[in-house]
Structure 1
Amino acid sequence: MNTNEQIKNEAIKRMRQLDLYEEAINKFIQSGTVCKSEPTNLSILGIGSSVIGTIYELTKEQKKFISDFEKEYDSMVYHVIETNTEFGLVNDLLYVSNNTDQWEMEQEDLSYKTPCVYCVNTTYPDYSEFGSIGIQSSGGGLIRVG
């Protein structure tokens, strides 16, 4: 079994691999604080036509479902991607499992920008599930692209 420190170090490694905003990484290192990314459409702001991932603090509800997930699946969440989808409001939990045998495969999935996540559907909770999603690093945050 791994110590929390080993799992946290693996999470930090993955955060850096994903090129997350350094302040979000530092908060995680210093206090274990998990942040979330939400897409921001720059054209709405009159700054172009691209979408970036903006970093935010978590809500109490998000902290609760992260805590429940970590206890149930013996994993550590290190980042959340919140996205409005055709299936409702989804919070994709990026996590490190306690099973080191899976770490190499999980890192490879990250290198292809297709991590396995737990998708918490807050609109339709029965649709919450594990799955792979496509992501893109942008603006220091992450965007779900598939």
Structure 2
Amino acid sequence: MDRTETDFEPTIVAMVCNWCTYTAADLAGTARMIQSPNVRLIRMMCTGMVDPKYVIKALLSGADAVLISGCHPGDCHYINGNYKARRRVKLLQEILPRFGIEQERLKLTWIGASDGNEFAATINELTKRIKELGPSAAKSTMVI
């Protein structure tokens, strides 16, 4: 049974920093901020530990988008992890079209621990954008 675009609900994987974005996500949840339920959080110690192959695997295995989010540059608990993440995301965005995946399906943000409202807004905005893009064509071509 094919889903129409009107009932399409994207699956978004969020790889988030333990020290900042995960704390902001927890704050947004405990404050009962309205946020889209489409996101599955993966708690990482640092965004610098996000391996590009995990991003590609998530997108090819059914995720409609991936969000990588961590501490603001200069505030990383591991000194330069967020700079590593920024370089990797830039490279990934160049590579993704080769897999038939739009660059907009990968997003990098910096969200501090006290920014629960920014986390909720980011999630809602990303979900809206991915709904507009529609289902990822990459997952329909994958044979698992």
TM-score (norm: length of structure 2)? 0.31
Greater share of strand: 1
Specify which structure has the bigger relative contact order, considering alpha-carbon pairs within 8 angstroms and separated by 6 or more residues.
2
